[in-house]
Structure 1
Amino acid sequence: MHLTYLDSNSWLIEIGSKKILLDPWLVGNLTFNGADWFFKGSKLKERPIPENIDLILLSQGLEDHAHTPTLKELDHNIQVVGSPNAAKVVKELGYTQINSLDHNETFTLDGSIEIKAVPGSPIGPTLVENGYILTELETGFTLYYEPHGYHSPSLKESAPIDVVITPLINLALPLVGPFIKGQQKALEVAQWLQPQVMLPTAAGGDVEFEGLLVKFLKAEGTVTDFRSLLEKNNLTTQVIDPSAGERFEVELKQRVLSA
């Protein structure tokens, strides 16, 4: 398995000879409803659009996951798997192969990779977006992704999982508290899933943010703090803090199944 972190929530996952582009923001700025004054993300380094993408995987329909300027640039014939909310976005853009997954539904990519949607982040009072469990069918290696740190207890049924990509630090707002949940929530999911490797997402990369919202955001904890949490709880999970834009191999060991 090879991974490339592409800033913010964006990843290129190479698994089972397939290239999966996850929540891509690769071109232009990141805003919500065009309100630059409220929030604006800018890339410090341009990220080239990866070639030979087999699948686009979208966890949410919000702009920081289904980034319209990026999706406009990508080949609209690439298969897309997304939450129902994300599927609406790519349908409006003219994508031709769209697979909308509700929670606990699965999609299999060319007989090689199984993708299962699991409950993810709540958006408003009624909508819960997707997390995903990816399984490389030949080896059985698994990867779990949830970009805001909302982990359904139902995940315990899928343990163990080899690789977890999720926030490892908190991002909080006054009075509201953390809306990106790392630290204790990441520890909890590590205890449930016993991953070999964990990687942070959502709050890194070569980007800068400005606007009214940013003035109130507060980061709580560090990746180093999280490593200490794992150690204190007798977990041997390796934490990789990747450099943005650099492809690297995640070396995994086959687990010994008990009789």
Structure 2
Amino acid sequence: MHLTWFDSNSWLIELAGKRILLDPWLVGPLVFGNLPWLFKGERHGGDRPIPENIDLILLSQGLEDHAHPPTLKLLDRALPVVASVNGARVARDLGFEQVRELPHSQTFNLDARLEIQAFPGAPIGPLLTENAYVLRDLETGTSLYYEPHGYPSPSLKEIAPVDVAITPIVDLTLPILGPIIQGKQTALDVARWLRPQVMLPTAAGGDVVFEGMLNAALRASGSAEDFRSMLAKNELSTQLIEVKPGARVEIPLADRRTNAA
């Protein structure tokens, strides 16, 4: 398995011989609702190049930091898209021709090589819950869990173990409103429930500068060092790996089938 992190929640996942572009924000600023005074994110180093030979676009949410319209407009509309309800709506509105809406508990099979299963993810208001995903190589069994806001579903316990987990490890909180990203405790839940060999943080850090009224009010809590300490205190062998934005990284994994034998 190879992973490339493009800042924020954007990843390229190379698994089962497939290249999955996940929640891409690669070009231009990140703005919610065309209100840059409220929130705006920009990269120090400018735009990221669009990855070549993409096999699938995977969207966990329909918000701009997961389904970024300026980025999606640069992608081939013939590429297949698997998405949450909101993400599928954005993709269809932008003219993508093959959009599969994946409800919770359902699976999508890519060329009989890669399985994607949807789980409940982050709640968006009282009526909508976005997606988390587990991706699995159907030949080797190698698997990856992704959820970008820190809302792991207890139903994940049924499919443990998972080899790699991508999830927040810090909290981002707004006064009065509470957390918009929660990771300090929920990342530990992911480690307990899924017993991943490796965890990678998402949603925070990277080569991005944020500004605006919303960003000024955000309060961050937690760090990689804090989380490693929590893993150790709970006698969990999971390794936390921090990757540099734009760097393609091979994830070191033991063959659990061999260990079990």
Short-chain TM bin: over 0.9
Q: Is 2:58 the counterpart of 1:57?
A: yes
Whole-angstrom distance in 2 between the partners of 1:176 and 1:156: 29
Partner of 2:232: 231
Partner of 1:174: 175
Q: Is 2:84 the counterpart of 1:83?
A: yes
Q: Is 2:217 the counterpart of 1:216?
A: yes
CA RMSD of aligned residues (A): 1.1
What secondary structure sits across from 2:37 in the alignment? coil
Q: Is 2:100 the counterpart of 1:99?
A: yes
Whole-angstrom distance in 1 between the partners of 2:209 and 2:76: 27
Partner of 2:17: 17
Partner of 1:26: 26
- Aligned 1:16-165 pairs, distance under 5 A: 16-45=16-45, 46-165=47-166
Q: How many residues align?
A: 259
User: Any unmatched runs of 5+ in structure 2?
Assistant: none
Aligned AA (1:191): R
Aligned AA (1:246): A
Q: What TM-score results when the alignment is normalised by the length of structure 2?
A: 0.97
Aligned-residue offset at 1:43: 1.4
Partner of 2:256: 255
Whole-angstrom distance in 1 between the partners of 2:78 and 2:144: 25
Whole-angstrom distance in 2 between the partners of 1:236 and 1:185: 17
Q: What TM-score results when the alignment is normalised by the length of structure 1?
A: 0.98
Aligned-residue offset at 1:32: 0.8
Aligned-residue offset at 1:178: 2.0
After superposition, the C-alpha distances for 1:50-101 in whole angstroms (9 at most, x for unaligned) are 0000000000011110000000001111110001111111101111111110
Whole-angstrom distance in 1 between the partners of 2:155 and 2:10: 25
After superposition, the C-alpha distances for 1:106-151 in whole angstroms (9 at most, x for unaligned) are 0011111000000000000110000000001111011000000001
Aligned AA (1:90): A
Whole-angstrom distance in 2 between the partners of 1:112 and 1:28: 34
Whole-angstrom distance in 2 between the partners of 1:93 and 1:186: 34
User: Any unmatched runs of 5+ in structure 1?
Assistant: none
Whole-angstrom distance in 1 between the partners of 2:222 and 2:195: 21
What secondary structure sits across from 1:73 in the alignment? coil
Whole-angstrom distance in 2 between the partners of 1:202 and 1:147: 6
After superposition, the C-alpha distances for 1:159-198 in whole angstroms (9 at most, x for unaligned) are 0111000001111111223221111110011101110000
Whole-angstrom distance in 1 between the partners of 2:177 and 2:201: 22
Whole-angstrom distance in 2 between the partners of 1:133 and 1:251: 18
What secondary structure sits across from 1:90 in the alignment? helix
Whole-angstrom distance in 2 between the partners of 1:106 and 1:204: 31
Aligned-residue offset at 1:258: 5.7
Partner of 1:8: 8
